[in-house]
Amino acid sequence: MASANDRAVLQAIFNPTSPFGDVPGINQEEELFDDDSGFDAELLKRVKELEMRGVSAAEAGDLQGALQLFSQAVHILPERASAYNNRAQALRLQGDTTGALQDLDRAIVLSGGGGRTGCQALVQRGLLRRLGCQTDEARADFEKAASLGSEFARQQAVLLNPYAALCNKMLSEVINKLRNPNMSEAQ
């Protein structure tokens, strides 16, 4: 079994664009979960069923049906973040970026910017902001999601950080020179 240091060295060799020593899975937050304990158990059960049906409808290409199911879930438990997050996905797939951002904002507020849903909503909002050329806002969302344990968000935050990109480029060049010492002489 490889030590943490061995994994860090291998990560730097096989993925030179990531910061040295940064091994996916190491130092990640524990598995995130949403605290649904404050909701009525029967209502929560109904809402979760609606959300599962909504996800199935969206996967089957029935975005209108999915939106209706997610909206029903929001209506039943308007203080629960998950249905807003799911509805945002369906809205985004329909091309309604403004509606998706509104639902993601609401999901982030309701989740307190934490838990599984908060993390997912931050990543989704970061992606939409990045597409909208709101780089600073996108980076902030990715950094927050990364602090919650999202490896994808961490990678996106690094990509949007000009200093990290420069350091990663220099590190990549050093590693390439170490791998191919004759290449630097030929240039």
Average pLDDT over residues 115-138: 93
The pTM of this model reads 0.71
4 in Cβ contact with 23 (< 8 Å)? yes
Cβ–Cβ under 8 Å, residues 89 and 58: yes
Q: Is the dihedral of CA 6, 144, 110, 65 positive or negative?
A: negative
Give the tens place of pLDDT for each residue, 5-40: 555 554 554 454 444 444 444 444 347 778 888 889
Q: CA dihedral defined by 12, 13, 15, 20, rounded to 10 degrees?
A: 10
Max mean pLDDT among 35-39, 104-108, 158-162 falls in: 104-108
Domain boundaries defined on the chain? 35-177
Residue range 35-177 in CATH 1.10.3720.10:
no
Cα-Cα-Cα-Cα dihedral sign, residues 172, 173, 179, 180: positive
φ/ψ of residue 148, rounded to 5: -90, -5
Contacts with 105 (C-beta within 8 Å, 6 or more apart), sequence order: 125
* Residues 52, 103: Cα–Cα separation, whole Å: 18
